[in-house]
């Protein structure tokens, strides 16, 4: 499998897809 090297940051803003409420909060 490809090795992906990158540093993850907890400061990253949260991401929610468009139409989030309809699809994931039933």
Partner 1 sequence: QEPLTASMLAAAPPQEQKQMIGERLYPLIHATHPSLAGKITGMLLEIDNTELLLLLESPDSLHCKIEEAVAVLQAHQATETSHKSSTTAF
- Applying CB under 8 A, which residues contact partner 1? 1-4, 6, 8-10, 12-18, 24
| Smallest separation (angstroms) from partner 1 to the CB of 9 | 6
Query: Between residues 12 and 22, which has the closer beta carbon with respect to partner 1?
Result: 12
Distance between CA atoms of 24 and 18, rounded to whole angstroms?
A: 11
Distance between CA atoms of 24 and 8, rounded to whole angstroms?
A: 25
| Smallest separation (angstroms) from partner 1 to the CB of 3 | 8
User: Distance from CA of residue 2 to its chain's centroid?
Assistant: 20
| Smallest separation (angstroms) from partner 1 to the CB of 22 | 13
């Amino acid at each position: 499998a490809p090795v992906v090297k990158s540093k993850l940051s907890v400061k990253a803003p949260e991401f929610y897809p468009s139409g989030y409420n309809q699809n994931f909060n039933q």
